Amino acid sequence: MSRPTIAGVARAAGVSVASVSRVLNGLPATEEMVERVQRAVQELGYVPDARARSLKVGRTFQLTLAVADVGNPVYVTMMRAVEEVVSAAGYRLVVTTTGPDVVDEVALVRGMARGYADGLLISPIRVDEDLVKSIRECEVPVVVAGNVPAKAGVDTVRANSPKGMLLAVDHLVAKGRRRIAFVNGPADTVPGAARAKGFADALRAHDLRPAATAEAADFTFAAGRAVAPEILAVTSESVTSEEVRSRDHSSSDVSGGFDAVIGANDLLAVGLMHELAAAGLDVPGDVAVIGMDDSELAEQSFPPLTSVNLGSAERGRRAAELLLARIEDNERTPRRIVVQPSLSIRRSTP
């Protein structure tokens, strides 16, 4: 008798081979499709070679990494670090996007009950009570790369955004920039709230007030460009590049506008630099620019972007290690790790 094939499973389930592969690999699928494929698998006795070891030990040897936007360079850096750790331990990593809505984050965590992965590493951009509850009740081990309340009872690895913002402001002030603007992403997000507070605290430490603030619709390059006119509007005198350069940046009496701006991430900062150039302003001659995340984009931009390194690779590595440890011993006391920032200075600041 010939061995059952994936094509045979597809015929028995009345679905495509691609659909069968999707279910067997633990990728998102409708409950109906999952049930039909699993029923056909059981009836035919189909066992993929790659899953034989998993069935023997009761594991899938597959882990899920969930981030808000797989197109964001900081998540790409984190993903690479996670994959390096888990692949060395014999696991395959599946990456999925939750988007910005906390409802989708909750749905993903609850969906882990389907058993297509042995653990979840999630980097939530928004957190509410439903998400905390779903994490606490999740049927597989969960590690959060981000910040959730301690009552979630989960391992966490987060960045120290407030300290990172202080590093950025300290650097600008040391270079004589005192009229500092800030462009944040949505303030109701975890990074948005942390970076807004960090900016306010850092300015107070230098007895400064913000030259301007704006909230972009998202943490993207396009959002950075779109919000730029709101920041540029503070240059009510419509000063030219030559007029700004003739002023003394070491004093605090520069009238009109700002002489530095911090973006809440690199994508926002690079989007801002494009619009500053379009407005005839030189970076860093007229306006110094700093981003946050120190992603690959920071080195690729023109001029190269000074950026706060929030340790995305280190956070990914530590979170992956915690998840593997949690899978081996789910009774461990949860750990809350904070990765400290550093400043990577490039040509976008003097």
Q: Which amino acid is at 96?
A: T
Q: Which amino acid is at 157?
A: V
Output phi, psi for 326, to 5 deg.
Answer: -65, -35
| Stretches in the chain below the pLDDT threshold 50 | 50-57, 236-256
Tell me the DSSP string of 249-273: TTSS---SS-SEEEESSHHHHHHHH
Do residues 4 and 40 make contact, with C-beta atoms less than 8 angstroms apart?
Answer: no
CB proximity list for 79: less than 8 A, separation 6 or greater: 65, 67, 70, 93, 95, 316
Alpha helices in 208-311 (DSSP H): 221-232, 241-245, 266-278, 296-300
Q: What is the pLDDT of residue 174?
A: 97
User: CB-based contacts of 35: which residues, under 8 Å, 6+ apart?
Assistant: none
Q: What is the pLDDT of residue 244?
A: 44
Tally of CB atoms within 10 A around 257:
23
Model pTM score:
0.77
Structure confidence at residue 104 (pLDDT): 87
